[in-house]
Amino acid sequence: MQFHEVIIMNDVKDIIIIGAGLAGLSALLYAKRAGYDVSVIEKDVYYGSQIAKTSIVDNYPGIPDVMGADLLDAFKKHAIYNKDDVISGQVTCFEYSDDIWKVFTKNDTYKAKTVIYAAGAGHRNLGVPGEKEYTGRGVSYCATCDGAFFRDKDIAVCGGGNTAAQDVIYMMDIARKIYLIHRRSTFRFSGRILDKIKSADNVEIITDDAVKCINGDNTVSGIELNSGKVIDVSGLFVAIGMNPDTEILSDMNILDENGYIIADETCKTCLKGFFAAGDVRTKPLRQAVTAASDGAVCIESVTEYLKF
């Protein structure tokens, strides 16, 4: 049992939501409208959400071609009724007894009848030599955050999914040359997007190859591929997917083999009063629209749990 230096807040909330991304904010909106006493705990209110680091989202129904940060802002404006709705803090663990969940942050403890875990996912690492060493010195995981540092430079993007495609498209007008490197011959993103990338005269696509190591001196100077090919670049954007932010749940027996919270479309887990929403849960499609949908569904499940 861990010892916590804590201030116990006396009031028991109906719901505590962990994470102020699209799933968490959607849950907050639905909870507020249903009249629940609810708070969100978020470790990084401004940039914590995956969507804040996404450039253009082109498939959120009804809002074509919206910047990720603008979509998140719209969710915030809609969901946050007053400043007390969002608590800044990093949750470290949970305890459950007598139908009450205790949610521990570094300095405080909060109590609630239900928890909605909507902490999202963080970027995956390549795990090759040079990656750690050059992170922030040429290696980046967010083109929208760091792309401007590579104006008129040669860069590489590694990955074959939507994030890699977005990074390439975002960098087309900034970088001089972009190498898109993918370990397979086919991509996960649509043919329409591939056509757009292929039509750019400053993009070279390299398939069936992967980054073996990242070289440099003080900053990145190049990458070596498994094929032996060496490419001179000043930057590498790693866009190879996400890992769920569920480390603090590892001893709660609710995670699958990839670290996702096992929950169905109702967002219920096998733990009483503990729900999962958004990219952290097992689901076939992780998108902005399915995260937002989970937030709404979760409150329906919370209502069923609290009232019946």
Secondary structure percentages of the chain, helix, strand, coil, to 5: 30, 30, 40
Residue whose CB is less far from ligand NAP, 94 or 260: 260
Catalytic entry in 44, 73, 99, 145: 145
* CA atoms of 236 and 133, how far apart (whole Å): 13
Contact call for residues 234 and 137 (beta carbons, < 8 A): no
Residue 144 contacts ligand NAP per CB under 6 A: no
Question: Going residue by residue from 215 to 254, which x/- string records binding to ligand NAP, judged by CB under 6 A?
Answer: ------------------------xxxx------------
DSSP string spanning 46-106?
TT-SGGGG--EE--STTSTTEEHHHHHHHHHHHH--SGGGEEE--EEEEEEETTEEEEEES
* Residue 146 a catalytic site member: yes
Report the relative pairing of strands 177-181 and 154-158 from DSSP bridges.
Answer: parallel
Residue whose CB is less far from ligand NAP, 54 or 114: 54
* CA atoms of 241 and 135, how far apart (whole Å): 17
Closest approach of ligand NAP to the CB of residue 153, in Å = 22
Q: Binding residue for ligand NAP (CB under 6 A) from 126, 171, 197, 297?
A: 126
* CA atoms of 232 and 215, how far apart (whole Å): 9
Region from 101-109, 153-161, 214-222, 245-253 binding ligand NAP, contact rule CB under 6 A: 153-161
Residue whose CB is less far from ligand NAP, 268 or 286: 286
DSSP 247: G
Contact call for residues 296 and 26 (beta carbons, < 8 A): yes
Closest approach of ligand NAP to the CB of residue 290, in Å = 9
Closest approach of ligand NAP to the CB of residue 235, in Å = 17
User: Residue 292: is it exposed, middle or buried by C-beta count within 10 angstroms (0-12/13-18/19+)?
Assistant: buried
259: left (phi over 0), alpha (psi -120 to 50) or beta: left
Residue whose CB is less far from ligand NAP, 57 or 139: 57
Residue whose CB is less far from ligand NAP, 190 or 266: 190
* CA atoms of 284 and 55, how far apart (whole Å): 23
Closest approach of ligand NAP to the CB of residue 292, in Å = 12
Catalytic entry in 58, 146, 209, 213: 146
Tell whether the torsion through CA atoms of 287, 290, 291 and 292 is positive or negative.
Answer: positive
Question: Going residue by residue from 170 to 189, which x/- string records binding to ligand NAP, judged by CB under 6 A?
Answer: -------------xx---x-
Closest approach of ligand NAP to the CB of residue 74, in Å = 16
State the residues that interact with ligand NAP by CB under 6 A.
Answer: 54, 57-59, 124, 126, 158-164, 166, 183-184, 188, 210, 239-242, 286-287
Enzyme catalytic residues: 142, 145-146
